[in-house]
Amino acid sequence: MYTLDVDASTPYRVHIGTFLLERVGAIAREAAGGRRAVIVTDSNVGPLYAAPVKTGLEEAGYETGVFTFEAGERSKRAQTYISILEFLASRELTRTDVVVALGGGVVGDVAGFAAATYMRGCRLVQVPTSLLAMVDSSVGGKTAIDLEAGKNLAGAFWQPSAVVADVGCLATLEPAQFADGCGEVVKHAAIADADLFAELERTPLTLDLLMRDVERTALLIARNIDIKRAVVAADERESGVRKLLNFGHSIGHAVEACDRYRTGHGTCVAIGMVAIARAAAARGACPAEVPARIEALAAAHGLATRTDRGADELFAAALHDKKRTGDDIDLVIPHRIGACSIERVPLTEFRALIGDGLDENGDEPEC
């Protein structure tokens, strides 16, 4: 097992390894305390993993309930959030009790938002079961729900008391689900770790690798979490360097919205990274090999790298992006693998960048 300590306003430990679900109760007892716990999960994950987590919590002395909602991004809405709050109240949780978010990114986000706001904040333990949630959404304290206007537009920063990533859970993912999580893996390497990027080029992180070498898979996950925890420690509230984690997200979130969330988040991030890198290369901000390598690595992990959506459609969807400030938007621009900058550009320039990234004119980017 690997452990990483996150130095946030509320410090906490991330546990990465195998056979950890049964230890969630003991970890929660040490990190969060409390008398009662509620597992929040979805209809896919609950039947697989709720029972051992519940048993472990009860053995650790918790009175434990389980709230299950329908799996999928469409459940990441106000109705689900309110239903969770009502369930917490019905179980008589107090501010010192624990919400256990058991599932992928949707579960972690909506359960985390409920924990952040129930009685103005109760304890939270994140138990991510997807690759995307393990390497990204479970760490850093971002919680949110979607609105009609766009993704993650209502939420709060709320750090967990602990994160428990049982790598064994990944074995039950469909190949497409596992691949979708690799979008954030490629992103972390592209913004912060050229050596990790090169290692992934040699040996992609795949389900096959998990089956052959679970220890190496766990180490790669730990390295990704290490990148994110360093950024979070430097800028917990996303006022500066943490914006680097948004590489590919402005265009990616727009693709998600236009596709009505039928395309996975990691896949959309891959599309967004390739597009903004192509635009950067077209304008001389990076060599042409940068978008080429990002696109090749994303493809090697089973990710789509292009969209049929047009620039005008994506631009209209991106106007609701949280990174917009008035008539400007903050974008992450790559300069080489492992090195990016945050640049504020006018929305008119952003529209042109989307067009360049989609290669609307059929021209190859120039360096």
Annotated catalytic residue, options 242, 278, 293, 301: 242
- Tell whether the torsion through CA atoms of 120, 129, 272 and 78 is positive or negative: negative
More confident call, 323 vs 306: 306
Instruction: Find the angle CA(139)-CA(142)-CA(145) to the nearest 5 degrees.
Output: 130
- Tell whether the torsion through CA atoms of 233, 214, 265 and 359 is positive or negative: positive
* Alpha-carbon span 273 to 268, nearest angstrom: 9
Tell me which amino acid residue 253 is.
H
User: Model confidence over 53-107: pLDDT tens digits?
Assistant: 999 999 999 999 999 999 999 999 999 999 999 999 999 999 999 999 999 999 9
Question: Does residue 188 carry a catalytic annotation?
Answer: no
Question: Does residue 361 carry a catalytic annotation?
Answer: no
Q: What is the 3-state secondary structure (H, E, C) of 76-91?
A: CCHHHHHHHHHHHHHC
Distances (CA, A) of 320 to 6, 208, 240, 328, 340: 31, 38, 20, 12, 24
pLDDT of res. 155: 97
User: Model confidence over 335-349: pLDDT tens digits?
Assistant: 999 999 999 999 999
CB 9 within 8 A of CB 236: yes
Reported pTM: 0.94
Question: Does residue 74 carry a catalytic annotation?
Answer: no
CB 224 within 8 A of CB 139: no
CATH 3.40.50.1970 intervals, the chain:
2-171
Q: Looking at domain 175-358, what is its CATH homologous superfamily?
A: Dehydroquinate synthase-like - alpha domain (1.20.1090.10)
Question: Does residue 22 carry a catalytic annotation?
Answer: no
Annotated catalytic residue, options 54, 151, 223, 265: 265
Annotated catalytic residue, options 73, 236, 238, 295: 238
User: Model confidence over 127-178: pLDDT tens digits?
Assistant: 999 999 999 999 999 999 999 988 999 999 999 999 999 999 999 999 999 9
Question: Does residue 246 carry a catalytic annotation?
Answer: yes
Query: pLDDT averaged over the chain?
Result: 96
**pLDDT beyond 50 at 245:** yes
Tokens of 325: 């400030």
**pLDDT beyond 70 at 363:** no
Question: Does residue 76 carry a catalytic annotation?
Answer: no
Question: Does residue 265 carry a catalytic annotation?
Answer: yes
Annotated catalytic residue, options 246, 256, 278, 309: 246
Cβ partners under 8 Å of residue 292, min gap 6: none
pLDDT of res. 362: 47
Question: Does residue 322 carry a catalytic annotation?
Answer: no
CB 140 within 8 A of CB 232: yes
* Alpha-carbon span 69 to 83, nearest angstrom: 9
**pLDDT beyond 50 at 215:** yes
Annotated catalytic residue, options 123, 223, 249, 351: 249
Annotated catalytic residue, options 54, 142, 229, 243: 142
| CATH dotted code for 2-171 | 3.40.50.1970
CATH 1.20.1090.10 intervals, the chain:
175-358
Question: Does residue 187 carry a catalytic annotation?
Answer: no
Annotated catalytic residue, options 76, 152, 184, 293: 184
Question: Does residue 228 carry a catalytic annotation?
Answer: yes
User: Model confidence over 37-58: pLDDT tens digits?
Assistant: 999 999 999 999 999 999 999 9
